[in-house]
């Protein structure tokens, strides 16, 4: 197993569609010879990277089925072993039991997230409940749990090395969290809940992907799109030659709203985003209420007041009250700053000779005007210095070289799943191989929204594996022949996702279940958010911010303006994040007997009672109906983690600033003491040991302009 809940996390990314294959065809797939299926044999490519020249849609179902069968067989053998339980014959064998399945899942989840199709969606629908059954068959297996518990109880006398002891503790806690202590009757009820949830989550993902694609707007009148550059218009040209198509990104606000001059067009684009999964054929309201209600029942069955209370076990936050207290401490300052920003924007609207009240679809356009007036900073003046490949190689990679000694080489001989994907081999400072990195940056209809990192191959000394890692983003793809230019937010996202990648590349664990990013959800965002800090570090910025036409380095005057504007619009940014985080926590603290009859009313009430609706022009970053983090991915009751780890990353960067900044010594110390440790030590103690003290919130407040 890659980590204790790896199978479950892959399952929740599945979408749904009917397979329609006959029994004979299915039997044929099940008996496919291993040598005919590239997913069932070791790849001959460097690092064991998947060979996408050989892998076809029809390979996944039989490979997944064989992986499930192999793991079920291995688990049964462990559970039925008549010899006394030992670490080797129980915990280590359990760790090894899902090796084949995880290898297949790594590739399957990579494709279904970044480049899916009807056939893969059909496999997702069929396999989702089977993965739920597999998980339950492991963690609700009484004989297996008995062996694990016997070892856990006497762990102090087993004389295990620290990582092996941590693996034992992690497995025991996973069994308890999954319901191993329930009665047989309650286990059967839990299995029913889990199967239903797996199916509903897959349905949500498929429906949302369709909603995103169907929600794209087509304009046939060029006057509607005044404000967009010719390059932007060219990139939006409809494939059928009729007009221009504006696709929807997964967030509420859409990037082009900053440029569109026509207010009616802005309103149309915003409302298309806001209603994409509400009231259309791709409506998700019923799906999300069913998910939330089932999760509440699951939490109660497992002995907790609500799902969030159950979910937060093993996290740094520990319980919902601590998360809510964090929200309560930030909301007043965030909304007050947002109100001031709204007042400034309203004045700009009036100054611009227009007479209307600020709405959400106006914010980005007029905030940009305020920024230009206040800081003499124009986004359009910055973008020519942020060409995507230059940012990656001379910015993201360069920062990693300065901090950690990493070097890179592009590999054009490694096959990819899409022509837009770039592959790099990374090396240690001494030339040793570190791993392979896939960069998949441009949006397409076959890719789900958002940005993420994951592994095709997970680091493990047990299997002598080095990591193969990918980053996925959804930057607008330029027209053929045009430069791919980024906004600063998109640059920051690239640094963020590579921070996750570094967490995976620097993994130094024996066991894949504890490797790299297999940490508590409210810590996993720390290395990624920390890495964002280097995007504006002068030495790094000067190296990558090069004009794509002339190669000229970004002028110092423009650098100074970017830094000066660092706290601009932070009231808006923090409030939209708090609103989304609050919605997540509200959905997952409902009682088991709750009956949410109207999702929109629930959302409205949730924002009102927490005073996050006081600035009407600031909507949640994600509305409930398209909140994929919590209803389609692994962040249920966990979206708060972005804010939780923000405190850590600003505090950590403050340490760097006070200790010489960007140096190899500082980078190596951070790597050795923090991001190479995976889930092998207590995370709070690890951070404090590196930092020398508990984290402080003041650096975060300063960075947000709230202090």
Residue 524 lies in a domain: yes
Burial call 232-256: b when 16+ CB within 10 Å, e when fewer: beebbeeeeeebbebbbbbbbbbbb
Cα distance between residue 707 and residue 699, in whole Å: 9
**Is a pLDDT exceeding 90 seen at residue 707?**
no
**Is a pLDDT exceeding 50 seen at residue 27?**
no
Residue 33 is predicted with a pLDDT of: 55
Residue 27 lies in a domain: no
Alpha helices by DSSP H, listed for 80-116, are 93-96, 99-114
Residue 388 CB coordination number (10 Å)? 23
- For residue 65, CA distances in Å to 48, 89, 416, 455 come to 21, 25, 24, 21
DSSP string for residues in 578-600: HHHHHHHHHHTT--TT-----HH
- Domain residues for 147? 46-181
Q: Which two tokens stand for residue 657?
A: 């600033």
Q: In terms of Cα–Cα distance, which of 303, 305, 294 is closest to 193? A: 294
**Is a pLDDT exceeding 70 seen at residue 32?**
no
What is the rounded (10 degree) CA torsion for 229, 235, 239, 244?
-30
Residue 201 lies in a domain: no
CB neighbours of 370 closer than 8 A, spacing ≥ 6? 341, 344, 345, 348, 568
Cα distance between residue 315 and residue 328, in whole Å: 20
Q: Please say whether the dihedral angle defined by the alpha carbons of residues 365, 369, 374 and 376, taken in this order, is positive or negative.
A: positive
For residue range 167-180, list pLDDT tens digits in order. 999 999 999 999 99
Same domain, 75 and 150: yes
Confidence of residue 345 (pLDDT cuts 50, 70, 90): very high
Q: In terms of Cα–Cα distance, which of 398, 414, 418 is closest to 406? A: 398
Residue 673 lies in a domain: no
Burial call 642-657: b when 16+ CB within 10 Å, e when fewer: bbbbbbbbbbbbbbbe
Same domain, 515 and 393: yes
Residue 501 is predicted with a pLDDT of: 98
Please give the span between the terminal C-alpha atoms of the chain, in angstroms, as a whole number: 45
> Which of 497, 525, 603, 646 is flagged as catalytic?
497
Q: In terms of Cα–Cα distance, which of 365, 425, 356 is closest to 397? A: 425
**Is a pLDDT exceeding 90 seen at residue 19?**
no
From 492, 518, 553, give the residue that closes a domain: 553
CATH number assigned to the domain comprising residue 96: 1.20.1050.40
Same domain, 425 and 527: yes
Cα distance between residue 250 and residue 580, in whole Å: 13
Same domain, 257 and 305: no
Cα distance between residue 63 and residue 627, in whole Å: 31
Q: Which two tokens stand for residue 422?
A: 């770039």
Residue 233 lies in a domain: yes
Q: In terms of Cα–Cα distance, which of 585, 72, 93 is closest to 322? A: 585
CATH number assigned to the domain comprising residue 616: 1.10.1370.10
Residue 656 lies in a domain: yes
Q: In terms of Cα–Cα distance, which of 304, 629, 654 is closest to 448? A: 629
More confident residue, 381 or 95: 95
Q: Which two tokens stand for residue 664?
A: 């190899």
**Is a pLDDT exceeding 90 seen at residue 11?**
no
pTM, entire model: 0.91
Residue 7 is predicted with a pLDDT of: 33
Same domain, 227 and 84: no
Alpha helices by DSSP H, listed for 588-672, are 599-609, 628-631, 641-658, 664-670
Mean pLDDT of 139-154: 98
Same domain, 90 and 221: no
Same domain, 358 and 308: yes
**Is a pLDDT exceeding 50 seen at residue 588?**
yes
* Active site (annotated) includes residue 497: yes
Residue 41 CB coordination number (10 Å)? 12
Residue 380 is predicted with a pLDDT of: 86
DSSP string for residues in 223-273: GGGTTS-HHHHHHHB-TTSSSEEEPPPSSSS-GGGGT---HHHHHHHHHHH
For residue range 406-438, list pLDDT tens digits in order. 999 999 999 999 999 999 999 999 999 999 999
**Whether 107 contacts 50, CB under 8 Å:** yes
Same domain, 376 and 392: no
- Helix pair 118-139, 162-178: axis angle to 10 deg: 100
Residue 15 is predicted with a pLDDT of: 27
Cα distance between residue 496 and residue 605, in whole Å: 33
**Is a pLDDT exceeding 50 seen at residue 10?**
no
Confidence of residue 706 (pLDDT cuts 50, 70, 90): confident
For residue range 191-229, list pLDDT tens digits in order. 999 999 999 999 999 999 999 999 999 999 999 999 999
From 228, 248, 275, give the residue that closes a domain: 275
Residue 12 lies in a domain: no
- Token pair 């990693």 in the structure block, residue: 400
Same domain, 76 and 134: yes
Cα distance between residue 467 and residue 437, in whole Å: 9
- Token pair 């230019």 in the structure block, residue: 485
**Is a pLDDT exceeding 70 seen at residue 84?**
yes
Please, which contacts does 639-642 make with residues 24 or more away whose CB atoms are closer than 8 Å? Answer: 639/580, 639/581, 639/584, 640/317, 640/323, 640/326, 640/327, 640/522, 640/581, 640/584, 640/585, 641/315, 641/317, 641/521, 641/522, 641/523, 641/524, 641/525, 642/525, 642/529, 642/577, 642/581
Q: How buried is residue 693: exposed, middle or buried, by Cβ count under 10 Å (0-12/13-18/19+)?
A: exposed
Give me the phi and psi of 604, to 5 degrees please.
-60, -45
Same domain, 453 and 549: yes
- Token pair 């089977």 in the structure block, residue: 130
Q: In what order do the strands lie in the sheet with 407-410?
A: 407-410, 422-427, 433-442, 468-475, 452-457
Same domain, 321 and 392: no
Residue 567 CB coordination number (10 Å)? 15
Residue 634 lies in a domain: yes
For residue range 590-642, list pLDDT tens digits in order. 999 999 999 999 999 999 999 999 999 999 999 999 999 999 988 999 999 99
Confidence of residue 563 (pLDDT cuts 50, 70, 90): confident
Same domain, 288 and 419: no
Cα distance between residue 259 and residue 230, in whole Å: 12
From 509, 524, 553, give the residue that closes a domain: 553
Q: Which two tokens stand for residue 641?
A: 């983690």
Strands 407-410 and 244-246 turn out to be unpaired
**Whether 485 contacts 478, CB under 8 Å:** yes
Confidence of residue 5 (pLDDT cuts 50, 70, 90): very low
Mean pLDDT of 501-520: 97
Number of domains in the chain: 4
Residue 34 is predicted with a pLDDT of: 56
Give me the phi and psi of 537, to 5 degrees please.
-70, 125
Q: Which two tokens stand for residue 436?
A: 């392979």
Q: How buried is residue 431: exposed, middle or buried, by Cβ count under 10 Å (0-12/13-18/19+)?
A: exposed
Q: Mean pLDDT in the chain?
A: 93
Q: Which two tokens stand for residue 217?
A: 């707007």
């Amino acid at each position: 197993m890659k980590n204790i809940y790896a199978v479950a996390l892959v399952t929740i990314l599945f979408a749904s569609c009917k397979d329609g294959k006959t029994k004979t065809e299915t039997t044929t797939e099940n008996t496919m010879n291993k040598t005919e299926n590239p997913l069932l044999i070791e790849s001959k490519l460097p690092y064991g990277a998947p060979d996408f020249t050989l892998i076809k849609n029809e390979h996944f179902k039989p490979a997944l089925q064989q992986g499930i069968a192999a793991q079920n067989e291995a688990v049964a053998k462990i559970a039925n072993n008549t010899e006394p339980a030992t670490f080797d014959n129980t915990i280590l064998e359990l760790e090894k039991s899902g090796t084949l399945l995880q290898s297949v899942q790594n590739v399957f989840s990579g494709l279904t997230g970044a480049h899916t199709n009807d056939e893969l969606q059909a496999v997702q629908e069929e396999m989702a409940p089977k993965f739920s059954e597999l998980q339950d068959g492991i963690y609700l297996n009484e004989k297996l749990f008995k062996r694990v518990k016997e070892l856990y109880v006497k762990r102090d006398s087993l004389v295990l090395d620290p990582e092996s002891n941590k693996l034992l503790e992690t497995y025991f806690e996973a069994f308890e969290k999954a319901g191993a202590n329930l009665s047989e009757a309650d286990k059967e009820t839990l299995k029913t809940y889990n199967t239903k949830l797996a199916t509903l989550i897959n349905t949500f993902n498929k429906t949302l992907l369709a909603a995103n694609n169907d929600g794209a707007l087509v304009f046939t009148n060029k006057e509607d799109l005044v404000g967009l550059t010719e390059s932007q218009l060219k990139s939006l040209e409809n494939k059928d030659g009729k007009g221009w198509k504006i696709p929807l990104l997964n967030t509420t606000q859409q990037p082009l709203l900053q440029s569109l001059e026509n207010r009616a067009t802005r309103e149309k684009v915003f409302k298309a985003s806001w209603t994409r999964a509400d009231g259309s054929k791709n409506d998700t309201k019923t799906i999300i209420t069913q998910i939330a209600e089932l999760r509440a029942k699951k939490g109660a069955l497992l002995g907790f007041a609500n799902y969030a209370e159950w979910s937060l076990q093993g996290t740094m936050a520990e319980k919902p009250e601590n998360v809510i207290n964090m929200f309560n401490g930030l909301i007043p300052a965030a909304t007050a700053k947002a109100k001031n920003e709204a007042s400034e924007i309203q004045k700009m609207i009036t100054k611009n000779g227009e007479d209307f009240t600020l709405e959400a679809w106006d914010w980005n356009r007029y905030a940009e005007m305020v920024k230009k007036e206040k800081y003499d900073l124009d986004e359009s003046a910055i973008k020519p210095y942020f060409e995507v490949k230059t940012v990656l190689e001379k910015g993201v990679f360069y920062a990693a070289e300065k901090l950690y000694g990493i070097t890179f080489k592009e590999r054009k001989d490694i096959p990819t799943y899409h022509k837009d994907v770039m592959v790099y081999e990374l090396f240690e400072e001494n030339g040793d191989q570190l791993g392979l990195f896939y960069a998949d940056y441009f949006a397409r209809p076959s890719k789900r929204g958002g940005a993420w990192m994951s592994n095709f191959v997970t680091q493990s000394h047990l299997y002598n594996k080095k990591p193969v890692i990918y980053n996925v983003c959804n930057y607008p793809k330029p027209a053929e022949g045009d430069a791919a230019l980024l906004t600063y937010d998109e640059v920051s996202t690239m640094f963020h996702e590579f921070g996750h990648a570094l967490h995976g590349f620097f993994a130094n664990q024996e066991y894949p279940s504890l490797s790299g990013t297999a940490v508590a959800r409210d810590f996993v965002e720390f290395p990624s958010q920390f890495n964002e800090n280097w995007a504006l570090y002068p030495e790094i910025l000067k190296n990558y911010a090069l004009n794509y036409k002339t190669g000229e380095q970004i002028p110092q005057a423009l650098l100074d303006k970017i830094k000066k504007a660092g706290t601009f619009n932070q009231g808006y940014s923090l409030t939209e994040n708090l609103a989304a985080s609050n919605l997540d926590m509200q959905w997952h603290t409902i009682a088991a007997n709750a009956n949410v009859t109207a999702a929109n009313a629930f959302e409205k009430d949730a924002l009102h009672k927490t005073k996050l609706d006081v600035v009407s022009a600031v909507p949640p970053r994600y509305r409930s109906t398209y909140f994929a983090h919590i209803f389609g991915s692994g962040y249920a009751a966990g979206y708060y983690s972005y804010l939780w780890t923000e405190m850590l990353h600003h505090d950590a960067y403050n340490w760097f600033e006070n200790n010489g900044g960007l140096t190899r010594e500082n980078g190596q110390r951070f790597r050795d003491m923090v991001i190479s440790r995976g889930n092998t030590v207590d995370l709070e103690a690890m951070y404090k040991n590196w930092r020398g003290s508990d984290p402080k919130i003041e650096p975060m407040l300063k960075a947000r302009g709230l202090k």
